[in-house]
A and B are shown apart, each in its own frame.
Chain A
Amino acid sequence: MMDGALPLTVRALRKKYRRRVVLDAVTFDVRPGEAVALAGPNGAGKSTLIGCITADRVPDAGEVRICGADPFGEPRAAAVCMGFVPEQPFLYPELSLAELLRFVAAARGLDPDASAVETARLLALLGLAGAEQTLCRELSQGMGRKTAIAAALLHRPRTILLDEALNGLDRTSAERLVAELDARRAEGAAVLISSHDLDFLAGWCGRGILLPQAGRWAALDGAAWEEWRRAPRLEP
C-alpha cells in the first residue's frame, strides 16, 4: 500500500459476460473524505463494478487500485484498506454474531482488546447490542446486514464499499450508520455506495457514477452532479 495513494482508482475498466458488455472503459477516482454515489437500474452493472473492484469479478481489461494496491496482485494490502458490504452478505450460519466478529478481528490481525471495544461500539450503534450470542442463521435480513456492516467497518478501512448496504435497515440504524460514515469520512475514509434510493444518494453524496444501462456510464461531477441531484433520475 502506498502512502498518499487515493482510496480508490478505477481506470478503463471493461467487463463483459459472454458477448454482452456490462462495463466499458469505466474510469473514476474516489478521494479521501468523499462519498460517491453509484446509481443505475437493475442489471446495469453496479454490483459487477463493485465486484471488479473487490476482486470478486475478474475484469476483462482495465486497472483497479485500492489505496494504490492491486486487489488481484496485492490482495492483502487491498484488504487492509478496504471494507466491503456485499448486496447479499455471507455470514457463517453456525457462528454467533459475536463469534463472527471475533473471527473477523483475528483474521485481520487486530488487537483483541481494542477490537472488542470497537465491536461493542459498532453493535450498540447499529442496534445489535444484546444479540451477540444469536446464531447468524437466526438473524433477520436487516440484522444480518448490520452484522456485515460491523464486520466491514471494524478495522477502520480507508475505502468503504457499500453495495445496497442500507436495504433492510430500520430508519434509526440507517441514520446512525450515515453519521458513522460521516465521521469516518472526516478522518479521511472514502465511500462508494450503490443504492436505489436516489434521493438519499443525491442528498448525501458529493458526486456520482451513473450506469443508465449495461455498457454505458457517466461521471456526474460539478455542474452535472448539481443538476442531477436537483432531480435524481436513472438517465444522465
Chain B
Amino acid sequence: MALPAVLAAGGLWLAGASARPDVSTGDGVVLLGLLIGAPVSLQAYPILFRPADDGFLRRLGIPASALFGVRALRLLLVALAVVFALMIPFVSTRQPLLRPLGVALAAAMAAWAVSLWAQARAAVHTSGGVRAPVDKLLGWDPELVAAGALVYAPLYPLLAGAAAARFAGADAWSAPLRLGLVFILSLAVVPIAAGAFARALPRFAPHAGELAYAPPPDATGGELVIGRGIARVLPRRVQAVRARDAVVLGRRYRWAGRAAWPVAVVCALAVVRAGGSPAVRAWVTLACGLLLVAQAGAVVALGRSERGRTRGMDRALGLRPGDRLVGRWAAAFGLALGLALPLAAGWSIGIGGNGGGTWLAAAAGVAAVASLASLAAAGR
C-alpha cells in the first residue's frame, strides 16, 4: 500500500505543471472539481455497501446508522487524500496553495456528500424495483436495467464536485463565505443520505447478491472446446489446459479479448491507408504494444488468482509444469492473435517488409513471457 502511494506522489511531484489544472480560469477549477469528484464517486459504492459482510454485521445487531457513520468517514478520508494528492503538483511548482486548496476542498465535500446520497438513493430504488425511464437506455439486458440507478449514481457526485469547484472558484462574495456555504449544504445532505442508507440496507444486501448472479455460459458466449483448430496439433493434456485457460481468460478478463478487435481494425486500416507516415506507424505501434502488454497483464493476473489453488488441482490431474506452460502460452497467444493477425495483415499490405511477421513474433514472445510470469505468480 505504501509503495504505490509513494510512487503516485512521486509521479505527481515530478509531473509538476503538466498535472496541475490552471485554477485561475473557470475551466481549470471545473477540471479540478472533476478530478476530485471522479475517484470519490467511483469509490463510494464499494465503501458504502459490502454485501459480503453486511448480513453478518446485521446479525450481530450493529445498527445501519453506525455502519453508515464509519463508512461515510472512510469515504471522507478518501476524498481528503485525493485533495492532498492533487495539491502535490502545486507544491512542487511553488504555486500559491490557498485558492486551489479551497476549490479542491469544496469539490471534495460536495462530491462526498452527494456520493453518499446518490448511492443510498440508488440502493433504495434498486431494491424497491423503481425504474427510471433513463435506465432503459442501458440496453436490453434486464439485469443491467434493474441496476440502472446504481449505474447512474456516480454521475451525481461528479457533477456536484465540478459545480462546487466552479462556485468556490467564482468571484462573487468572499472565498470563506463561498466555501462555508458549500460545506453547510454538503453537511445538510448527509442526514438525508443516512436515512436512505438505513432504509436500503436490509433489502439491498441480499438483492445485490442476486444481481451478481452469473447466467450459464451459453448466454455469455465462448464454450470450452478441447482440440479446436490449430490447437489439435498439441498433446491432448496441453489442449485441455489451453482450452481451460482460454475460457477462464475470456470470461474473467473479457475486456482483454473485446478490446483487441476495435484496436486491430483501426490500426490495420491506418497502416493500410497511411503506413508510409512515421507518425502513423509510431502511434499504431504504441497502441498495439500497450494492448499486448495489457493482455499479458490479464494472463499474469490469471496466475495470481490461482495462487495455491489450481496448482493442487493440476497436480492431482497429473499435469506436468510443461503441459501447463505450453497450454497457457497457447491460450495467451490465441488471445493476442485477435490483435496480431489483422495488424500483421494490414502491415504487410500497407508497409510490406517483415513487419507483419514481426508482430506475430512479438505476440508469441509477449505470450511466452506472460505465461512464465503467470505460472510463477500461481506459485506452489
Instruction: Check A106–B214 contact: CB distance below 8 A.
Output: no
- The chain B residue sitting closest to A134, CB to CB, is B216
Q: Does A95 reach chain B (CB closer than 8 Å)?
A: yes
Instruction: Check B318–A108 contact: CB distance below 8 A.
Output: yes
Instruction: Check B217–A90 contact: CB distance below 8 A.
Output: no
Instruction: Check B251–A54 contact: CB distance below 8 A.
Output: no
Q: Does A47 reach chain B (CB closer than 8 Å)?
A: no
- Given A103-B244, A107-B241, A107-B318, A90-B236 contact (CB < 8 Å): no
Chain B residues in 8 Å Cβ range of A106: 226-227, 236-237, 239-240, 243
Checking B216, B236, B240, B251 against A133 with a beta-carbon cut-off of 8 angstroms, the contacting residue is: B216
Binds A, one of B275-283, B306-314, B333-341: B306-314
Instruction: Check A79–B313 contact: CB distance below 8 A.
Output: no
Q: Does A102 reach chain B (CB closer than 8 Å)?
A: yes
Instruction: Check A99–B223 contact: CB distance below 8 A.
Output: yes
- Given A94-B251, A107-B319, A102-B224 contact (CB < 8 Å): yes
Q: Does B181 reach chain A (CB closer than 8 Å)?
A: no
* Cα–Cα distance between A171 and B272 once the two chains are bound (Å): 66
Instruction: Check B217–A103 contact: CB distance below 8 A.
Output: no
Restricting to A74-122, which residues have a CB under 8 Å from any CB of B?
Answer: 75-80, 82, 84, 86, 90, 92, 94-96, 99, 102-104, 106-109, 112
* Cα–Cα distance between A86 and B277 once the two chains are bound (Å): 59
Checking B240, B252, B310 against A90 with a beta-carbon cut-off of 8 angstroms, the contacting residue is: B310
Q: Does A138 reach chain B (CB closer than 8 Å)?
A: yes
Restricting to B122-153, which residues have a CB under 8 Å from any CB of A?
Answer: none
Restricting to A35-78, which residues have a CB under 8 Å from any CB of B?
Answer: 54-56, 75-78
Shortest CB–CB separation between residue B312 and chain A, in angstroms? 5
- Given A92-B248, A95-B248, A107-B314 contact (CB < 8 Å): yes
Chain A residues in 8 Å Cβ range of B317: 79, 104, 107-108
Checking A79, A96, A152 against B318 with a beta-carbon cut-off of 8 angstroms, the contacting residue is: A79
- Given A96-B216, A135-B216, A76-B248 contact (CB < 8 Å): no
Chain B residues in 8 Å Cβ range of A11: none
Instruction: Check B216–A109 contact: CB distance below 8 A.
Output: no
Checking B217, B309, B315 against A79 with a beta-carbon cut-off of 8 angstroms, the contacting residue is: B315
Chain A residues in 8 Å Cβ range of B247: 94-95, 99
Instruction: Check A94–B240 contact: CB distance below 8 A.
Output: no
Restricting to B233-260, which residues have a CB under 8 Å from any CB of A?
Answer: 236-237, 239-241, 243-244, 247-248, 251-252
Q: Does A176 reach chain B (CB closer than 8 Å)?
A: no
* Cα–Cα distance between A214 and B309 once the two chains are bound (Å): 25
* Cα–Cα distance between A137 and B214 once the two chains are bound (Å): 8
Shortest CB–CB separation between residue A102 and chain B, in angstroms? 6
* Cα–Cα distance between A106 and B327 once the two chains are bound (Å): 12
Instruction: Check A76–B217 contact: CB distance below 8 A.
Output: no
Instruction: Check A82–B237 contact: CB distance below 8 A.
Output: no
* Cβ contacts A152-176/B at 8 Å (1 or 0 each): 1000000000000000000000000
Restricting to B320-336, which residues have a CB under 8 Å from any CB of A?
Answer: 320, 323
Q: Does B171 reach chain A (CB closer than 8 Å)?
A: no
Instruction: Check A99–B224 contact: CB distance below 8 A.
Output: yes
* Cα–Cα distance between A92 and B249 once the two chains are bound (Å): 11
* Cα–Cα distance between A137 and B216 once the two chains are bound (Å): 10
* Cα–Cα distance between A20 and B95 once the two chains are bound (Å): 61
- The chain A residue sitting closest to B241, CB to CB, is A107
* Cα–Cα distance between A135 and B220 once the two chains are bound (Å): 11
* Cβ contacts B162-195/A at 8 Å (1 or 0 each): 0000000000000000000000000000000000
* Cα–Cα distance between A54 and B311 once the two chains are bound (Å): 12
* Cβ contacts B203-242/A at 8 Å (1 or 0 each): 0000000000111111000011011000000001101110
Shortest CB–CB separation between residue A64 and chain B, in angstroms? 14
Checking B213, B227, B244 against A92 with a beta-carbon cut-off of 8 angstroms, the contacting residue is: B244
- Given A106-B236, A106-B239, A107-B319, A90-B218 contact (CB < 8 Å): no
Instruction: Check B320–A54 contact: CB distance below 8 A.
Output: no
- Given A76-B318, A107-B314, A107-B319, A133-B217 contact (CB < 8 Å): yes
Chain A residues in 8 Å Cβ range of B6: none
Q: Does B316 reach chain A (CB closer than 8 Å)?
A: yes
* Cα–Cα distance between A138 and B209 once the two chains are bound (Å): 11
Chain B residues in 8 Å Cβ range of A112: 226
Restricting to A201-226, which residues have a CB under 8 Å from any CB of B?
Answer: none
Instruction: Check B320–A76 contact: CB distance below 8 A.
Output: yes
CB-CB nearest 10 A-B residue pairs: A79-B318, A106-B240, A99-B224, A94-B251, A133-B216, A107-B240, A90-B309, A107-B317, A76-B318, A106-B226
Q: What are 10 residue pairs bridging A and B, where the CB atoms are less than 8 Å apart in the complex? A: A56-B315, A76-B320, A79-B316, A96-B216, A103-B224, A106-B227, A108-B317, A108-B318, A135-B216, A138-B213
**B: which residues have CB within 8 A of A?**
213-218, 223-224, 226-227, 236-237, 239-241, 243-244, 247-248, 251-252, 309-310, 312-320, 323
**A: which residues have CB within 8 A of B?**
54-56, 75-80, 82, 84, 86, 90, 92, 94-96, 99, 102-104, 106-109, 112, 133-135, 137-138, 152
